[in-house]
Amino acid sequence: MRILAIESSCDETGAAVIEYGRIIRSNVVASQASIHQRYGGVVPEVASRHQLSALIPVVEAALREASVTWDEIDAIAATYGPGLAGSLLVGLTGGKALALARGVPFVGINHLEAHIYANWLRPQDANPGAIPTHPDTDEWPGDPRFPLLALVISGAHSELVSIPQHGRYDLLGQTRDDAAGEAFDKVARVMGLGYPGGPAIQRAAAERDPSRKNPFRLPRAWLNGTWDFSFSGLK
């Protein structure tokens, strides 16, 4: 099974060709980070416009880099959410249209589930070991083993999820306010460090005075007695 996968939930347009849900034949990403930098955050309408411009070039590059033709694509997947509505619309509509045009199934994918399943991916030059008899459905050597605990951290999400088996998710805890990435962006903006906040803060931290140990006292994000977090106290 070879899948063309499209992701357009925010300010990046991604397309990848994946075999057996694991092997990355190609992975092409068009980023708009430098465009949104000057606004200090993602402007939804600007992001949506760039999504549409990048859609076909990114899909074309993913197919070319994987050296596959349309006839070798068995299904098409795209993120349906959560994310920015205008950005999602582009990848979702494009994915459905490509599937209709090629007569293959379309699969809409939850953004956070995709983050979790990224842990099953491996580069195509990695030694796959023995390929299982049924490569689409069997467990592969090196796959994560259930039960699993996943920490999903992104610009918009901070969740702790227990996964007893494929496709079952029990939400243990989540942020009560800002997501971790959001906290980085907000703090970086308040401190005038720029956007995106994570790399900006990392750069600033590298210039610290190494003779001073723990110069800042930061509140803890963990909420005692729960599995939840809170990052809003940081700003």
Partner 1 sequence: MLLAFDTSTSIASLALVAGTAPATADDRRLIAELTWQVGQRHSTELLERIEWLLATSRVTMADLTGVAVALGPGSFNGVRVGLAMAKSLAFARGLPLVGVPTLDVIAWGHSAIGGTICAILEAGRGQVYSATYDATAPEAARWAPVDGYAVVTAAELAAQCESGAYFCGEMAPATRAALASTLGRRYRSAPVLEARRASWLAELALARIAQQRYDEPVALEPLYLRRPAITTSTRRGLPAPEGVAEVPQREDAPGGEGSADALRR
Q: Which two tokens stand for residue 21?
A: 């849900």
CA distances (Å), 58 to each of 16, 46, 147, 161, in order? 9, 18, 35, 31
Q: Which residue is nearest to Zn ion (CB)?
A: 154
Instruction: Tell me the Ramachandran region of residue 205: left when phi exceeds 0, alpha when psi lies from -120 to 50, beta otherwise.
Output: alpha
Per-residue x/- mask for partner 1, residues 152 to 191, rule CB under 8 A? Answer: x--xx--x-x-----x-xxx-------x-xx--xx--xxx
Q: Between 14 and 73, name the residue whose CB sits nearer to Zn ion.
A: 14
Answer yes or no whether residue 110 interacts with Zn ion by CB under 5 A: no
Report the nearest approach of partner 1 to the CB of residue 127 (Å).
31
Answer yes or no whether residue 201 interacts with partner 1 by CB under 8 A: no
- CA 173 – CA 223 distance, rounded (Å): 10
Contacts of 95 (CB under 8 A, 6+ apart): 6, 76, 77, 78, 106
Return the residue of 154, 162, 174, 232 that touches Zn ion, per CB under 5 A. 154
Q: Which two tokens stand for residue 78?
A: 């795209």
Site residues, partner 1 (CB under 8 A)? 9-10, 38-46, 48-49, 51-53, 55-57, 59-60, 70, 80-86, 88-98, 100-103, 108-110, 112-113, 152, 155-156, 159, 161, 167, 169-171, 179, 181-182, 185-186, 189-192
